[in-house]
Amino acid sequence: MTARILDGNKIRDEIKAELAEQINDLKRSGITPGLAAVLVGENPASQIYVRSKVKTCETLGIYSEKIELPTQTTTEQLLALIDRFNLREEIDGILVQLPLPSQIDTKRVLMAVDPAKDVDGFHPINVGHLVSGRPGLVPCTPAGIIEILVRSQIPIKGARAVIVGRSDIVGKPVAILLMHNHATITVCHSRTRDLPAVAREGDILIAAMGKAAYITGDFIKPGATVIDVGQNLLKTAEELRRVFHDPTEPLKQLEAKGSVLVGDVQPEDMKEKSGAYTPVPGGVGPLTIAMLMVNTVQAARLRRGMRAHNTS
């Protein structure tokens, strides 16, 4: 039986179409959601991400401002900018693109963002709302994972879900969201004993540890749903030969593009053993920006005392 591909691009487009209607409704009430995107330094990947986020805002009719600051920006200078955005009524969401240059205190910066405008969902107040099941702003990638599962009609209620990776950005929040959806959760990490055996218990397996193709067929329960959050760029033929059983096509891609994007799950094993899986690219990635837009619209509603809108 062929594994089903969970198409993140298709689900992203569904969400964007629904959001466009919500935004038009808000505009008829005189409200235009607004997002400020702050980029510090010249990290090429961050520049691409921020450009993509601003372009998506334009497509949907969300007001956006992009602020680019030099690499040598200090913590105090960045805090002063965030204070100004906190006070501006037309800005509903503040996005500070990570990673920040090493001299900046990232935790202080993220704590300075008004929780009502924290569209990344990283502020402790929003984390508290997430844990207690109150309406709020949820981290974008975990929210996107739930959208993929729900919209693909993957049963969550009663399922065993195993998460490999315990980061504050993905692992912990997706565990809480799955618990709210009545799954039984196991969160694994580098010190988990016999990790492959624990992972094989998962009806749903979520890989989010940032190691290229670390999860092999030994970790996958036959027929499980595999959600691969990893985004790892491989740039040498040696790396590709180490990762792929048959590196023929990836080697051609390397020659043409200079790099190959792979997830945290060995892609050939994932196709062979899973019942359904998210590809890399084209799986979880497209949902992250879509859910940032959802959070911006949610923030616009919640800040004005309106009810939160369920996406799925």
Q: Exactly one of 92, 114, 118, 120 is catalytic; which is it?
A: 120
**What's at 174, amino acid-wise?**
V
Cα separations (Å) of 290 from 15, 23, 277, 287?
A: 7, 14, 19, 5
Cα separations (Å) of 263 from 91, 92, 115, 166, 213?
A: 34, 33, 31, 17, 6
The radius of gyration of the chain from alpha carbons, rounded to an integer in Å, stands at: 20
Per-residue b/e over 223-257, b at no fewer than 16 CB within 10 Å? ebbbbbbbbbebeeeebbeebbeebeebeeebeee
Across-strand partners of 213? none
Is 77 annotated as catalytic? Answer: no
For the chain, the distance separating the N- and C-terminal CA atoms, rounded to the nearest angstrom, is 29
Is 53 annotated as catalytic? Answer: yes
292 CB-side CA count, 13 A: 25
What's the rounded Cα separation, in Å, for the pair 219 and 190? 14
Q: Exactly one of 22, 92, 97, 266 is catalytic; which is it?
A: 97
What's the rounded Cα separation, in Å, for the pair 183 and 163? 12
Q: Exactly one of 53, 172, 221, 273 is catalytic; which is it?
A: 53
Look at strands 4-5 and 160-164 and give their pairing.
Answer: unpaired
What's the rounded Cα separation, in Å, for the pair 17 and 15? 5
Is 120 annotated as catalytic? Answer: yes
Catalytically active residues, by annotation: 53, 97, 120
